[in-house]
Structures are given as structure tokens and as C-alpha cells.
Structure 1
Amino acid sequence: MDAPEYQPGDCVYCDPDCQKGHWSNHKAHCRALRQRKKLLRTANILKAALLTYREVVYDVDLTKIQFQDGVLCLHQNQRPITTRSKRGLFPVHLTTNIDHKEAALANNQCTTAMALLGRLTQKLLEDETDLQDYHLAIEVLDIHIGKPLVPTKLVPGPDSSDMPHTVSKVGLLFADEAWILDTAGCQYGFREVLVPFEKYLADKSCQIVNEPTTYDATETKDLDYFSTFPFLNRTPAQREDKKLERQARLHFAVFVNMHVSNDVLDGSDVEFKDKLDSFVHDLKLHMLNLGH
């Protein structure tokens, strides 16, 4: 029940008798559906973790959120590199539209998501028997989104429409399935966080920018890389921003180590929803305690 489709109609029987009569052939497929369901639950937790983190540690000085001519415009007070970023709670008073809020939280955050969620991804999946029996392969893939539903743009700000979007490519090898796990796709108006690989590329008119690489990220992998570029570390404000972001990432890692186990993927749909709600609540409280 509620497993995502890989091919149209592959999750449906016309009635229970039909399913029982086909059970000897269907058994392996049923197991694959169970694995897909846990992968979807994992994807939903990862997206919730990214958005919750950003909601507490938000570093854009937004003044207005406006949908105009098919584009979601995020108006900001743009700061010089000599001024530290404004970090704090997301300004929820600017919108009551959940899609607009999520797009603002995820804007330009795909690289952050890959690093921030690395430990959480591993913890959820590495000991999950149903998934490991099918030998998961998780890779990082850079793509260009040719057909966003609702592009998001910082105003003023650079044109990022040609920037690559980073996602995870997840292979269930023995099931011969490949999925895209996209935690930051809401910045393009994409609601689904787990989509079959070929369908994702086709529906969004994607071009692959480079070959996928093994997903082995830690919370600060991107920050470690950025610290090697002098122009990103030229001013005291730039260095202080990276220091504060590093502290927040490591604080997030403490939560993952202490409060997350893969049994969060188990249970009925109602039980999982309760677990997800508790996860978001507890993570938000934990991040609000940053620095205390």
C-alpha cells in the first residue's frame, strides 16, 4: 500500500482474489514495493530535515515573496561581502502559501542538502535490511532543469537559471530500478521528492551535467571545499558566516547521532506520519538550542 509506482500500473491489482492467484509470481515484486515504500519514507524525512534546518537557520534577509509572471520572486536586502548574513528564523509572516515557503527555504540549497543530509541518509539506510538486501547504490548527480514548474529567483540577485541542480540517484540494483531523490526540488515547484530516474529526466527536460559520483558526504563537506577558495574567505564577515554555518551543521549532526534510528521507517502510514511529525518537532527544538 502507498508504494510509489516505477512503471504506470505496476502497484495495482483489480481485486484481492486476483492478487492471491498471482502470489507465486508477485512475491518478489511485492518485496520491491515494500522497499520502495521505505525509500519514499526516507526521502520524506530527508526533505523535512532540510526544510526544518533552514527554517531555524535562515540566512537571507527577505522582504517580500511575490509570484509574478510564472516566477516566484524572493525580494531581499542584498548585503555586501563585508557584512555578515542575517541568520535566524524564517520570516513566516511573508507568506501563508506552503509551496512558496518551501521554495524560499530550498532556494539555492541543493549543495547544502547533499552535505547536510549525508549522515542522516546513511543512518536511515545503511542498516535497513529490506533495502540493503537489494544492494542500494547512492550517487550524486548534477543536472540542468530544462522545465521547472515554478522557478524561484532572488531579487536582486544573480541569474541562477543555468546553474546545475544536484540530486541523489538511488539504484535498487537487484530490482533493476533507479530513482531520483530530490530534497530541494521545491525551489522549482516540484512536490514529489522521489521519482523514477527516467521519468524525472523526461518530465523536467533534464540534461545530465556530468557523470554521477559516489555519495559519501558529511555535514561540512561543501564548507571544507569552499574554504579552499580565497575569494569566498576574503573578509571577516565571510569567514564568520562560514564558522557559524559549520557550528549549525555540527549541531545538526549531534541530533542525527543521538535521536535518529532506522525504525522510524517502520509501522503503518498513520504511525509513520506521527513519527515524522515528532522528528520535525524535536529537530526544530534542537536547532533552536544552538549556542545554548
Structure 2
Amino acid sequence: MASPYLRPICARCGRNADLACSGYKNAPPVDGDVKIVYYCSPKCQKEDWQHHKGLCKRLQTRKGLYRAGSVLQEIFYMYREKLYEKFYVKIDKSEGRLVLYEGQYSLSTPFITAPTDCLIPFPDTLCQTAEDKKSILVHLSCDDASAWLHEVLKYILVDIAVSIEEVRCVPKNKKLVITHVHPDQTRQDPNFEHEIIKVKLQNGGEEYALDFSGAQYGYFEPVIPWLKYVESRVAHFASRPGFDYFGGMFDILRSMSGRNNVVEILFALNVESSRALLHGTKSWEAESKIGICSMLKLPFPQFKIKEKLLVDHIASKIVWYHERQREKNKKARVKVGYGTPAWIARHSRKKK
């Protein structure tokens, strides 16, 4: 009778083997290409390296991308919550649909005392599930992902990607449709162009889509093989005249920042706040004594622990920056007599 347990065979000499190549461990499969390779000894593993290294390095790079994508996705969810600007008072949920009802804003530009006055606490209590929250956080935020993650994404992918592109498309096959209802009860058309990132990897040239706002369409995986993404989720590609390069979306949104209205103020606040993403990543590396590249290679449980610590550290930097802005503007308000009858009268006349 054959044994129910067949021991692995050494890829070099054919003997029974127990030593698995660590490079294959936890590598995400694409079309079933991840098959664990075993060796009977370090000697056989070393002798087989020339034959084995191409696929091994390709899988290690792929694993690094998927983990980097996880880190960047968690950073973006956190960032959107810290910079949230939409005022929703009601959310209706049905199969494959969320309807978001926007409340009436009471803030007008002359009475904004600090850029952070434009931010609104995220309505956690209106969300039924954690996935609903993620979907609402990134709703209409694909441009934000390309713009505000630009520097930290470039930093984290430096040893993983050989090229990075910003790609615009029209999405299809949405699992979720989100409808935005304005205070006057008009409904916003839910059909928008969508912004994603295309990366080509080192060690083999595999191509992937990075979609950090896919949750608004019911997709929660940030890393998807490029051809699979195009075939299943892209109706057709769109152009972005004038800023069609990696970093172009950051330049577009930065050019729209200013102090004349709430929209311009929010863009300006994001330009400054997004600097904390890269700064926070580097300061976390220094304090934790581990680089991002090394963190991505940790055993999965340790990686997830470090990922959370990193995101929390970056969040603390954003909070610190916002608190500093509030304190700075508080002192400025005292200096100009903000809130006094004379100040109110002066700015009321300007509004008229």
C-alpha cells in the first residue's frame, strides 16, 4: 500500500528533502506559478541557485509588492480619515448600493480660522460594517490616492518597481455603486473616471495595478495583476492632458490649492499634511531600527504588527501637524481681534 504521506523531493539531486526555499513562502500565486521548492541540504540548494534564482527573486519581489500595497492601503485609509471633509447625515444601504446624504454646511470662508476647520469627523456611527467605512472613506478619492501617496509610494517601492505610472480609466463591473445626494436632494452621477497606478517590477518585469480607492466599487484588494485588472475592471482608458506623468496628479491638485474658498483651503491642507506620510515613515524607520524593505520581508504575523505600528506612527505625525496649525492660527486670531464686534462687522460687510 502506498504511503498517504509523500515526502518532498530535492530539486537538485532527487533525494527526500525537508529544506524548503524561503523565497517561495507566502508568495502570492499568479496562474498557479508558486510551487514550493525543496532541497535535501544547503549544499544542494547552493548548487541549484543558478537554475533557481530567476523564479525565486521574481516571487520575492512579487511578495514585496503585495506587502507594500497592503502598507500603502492602510496608510491611505488612515490618511482619508484624518483629512475627511464630507458631512454626511444619513446612509442608506441595499444590495450593492450605498446612498450617502450630505448635510448642510454652515462654514463660510471668512469664518475659517484654521485650515483644519474644514475637516469633519468621519461618521462612524452611520456605517454598518468595516467594509462600508472603507468604501465611504475612499469614495471620489482616487485622485487623492495618486496625489497624496505619491512621495511615500515612490519611497516604499524604490527596491521593488522599475517603473511607476499614473493611469486613468473608466471602470466597469462595479460590485458596489455609491450615490451622493446633495443637501438640495439632487443626486450626483456615480459614473466617474478612475485613477490607478501601474507598476512594473524588478526581477522579471511583472506588471500590476495598484488601486487604493477600489473599495468605493466593492473591491478591497489593492494589488492586482495588470492584465487581470484591465480585463475585469477597465471599460476603456482615458487621457489626462498636460499632466500625463508620474507625479502629475500631485501637481494638478497642488496648483488648485489656495485660500479663496473651502476647496482651495482643503487642497492646501492636503499638500502640507501629505508630507507627514514620507516624514513619518522615515522617522518610524529610525525609531524602530528597521527599514521598510526589511519590514516587508518579515514573517507575516510580525509584518502585520509592524504595519500597524507604522501607520499609527504616521497618524500621530498628522495629528501633531494639525494641532500645531490650530495653535498657530489661534495666536493669529487673537492678534487680529477675531470674533470681536468690529471683526464680525468688517467681515460681514465683505460678504455682502
Out of 162, 168, 190, the residue aligned to residue 160 of structure 1 is 190
Is 1:141 the counterpart of 2:164? The answer is no
The residue that corresponds to 2:76 in the other structure is 50
Aligned-residue offset at 1:136:
1.4
The residue that corresponds to 2:279 in the other structure is 254
- Deviations 1:51-71 (Å, cap 9, x if unpaired)? 101112210001123222521
* Percent identity (aligned): 23
- Give the 5 Å matches for 1:241-280: 241-260=266-285, 261-262=291-292, 263-280=294-311
* Equivalent-residue separation in structure 2 for 1:192 and 1:235 (angstroms): 38
1:60–1:76 contact (8 Å) kept in structure 2: yes
1:143–1:165 contact (8 Å) kept in structure 2: yes
* Equivalent-residue separation in structure 2 for 1:268 and 1:34 (angstroms): 13
* Equivalent-residue separation in structure 2 for 1:174 and 1:246 (angstroms): 34
Aligned length: 277
- Mean CA deviation greater in 58-67 or 107-116: 58-67
1:82–1:235 contact (8 Å) kept in structure 2: no
- Deviations 1:35-88 (Å, cap 9, x if unpaired)? 000011111111111110111221000112322252122222154995678514
The residue that corresponds to 1:230 in the other structure is none
Structure 1 unaligned spans of 5+: 228-232
* Equivalent-residue separation in structure 1 for 2:251 and 2:107 (angstroms): 22
Aligned-residue offset at 1:170:
0.6
The residue that corresponds to 1:285 in the other structure is 316
Higher RCO (C-alpha 8 Å, min separation 6): 1
Counterpart of 2:253, as a letter, is: L
- Cα 1:124–1:238 change in 2 (3 A) is closer
Aligned Cα RMSD in Å? 3.1
Out of 20, 27, 40, the residue aligned to residue 3 of structure 1 is 27
Is 1:102 the counterpart of 2:131? The answer is no
The residue matched to 2:323 in structure 1 has which SS?
A: coil
The residue that corresponds to 1:225 in the other structure is 255
- Deviations 1:78-118 (Å, cap 9, x if unpaired)? 54995678514322122241111001110111111111111
* Equivalent-residue separation in structure 1 for 2:216 and 2:276 (angstroms): 25
Counterpart of 1:249, as a letter, is: S
After TM superposition, the score normalised by the length of structure 1 is 0.82
- Structure showing greater radius of gyration is 2
The residue that corresponds to 1:186 in the other structure is 215
Structure 2 unaligned spans of 5+: 1-24, 286-290, 325-352
After TM superposition, the score normalised by the length of structure 2 is 0.69
Aligned-residue offset at 1:223:
2.5
1:169–1:180 contact (8 Å) kept in structure 2: yes
* Equivalent-residue separation in structure 1 for 2:276 and 2:203 (angstroms): 37
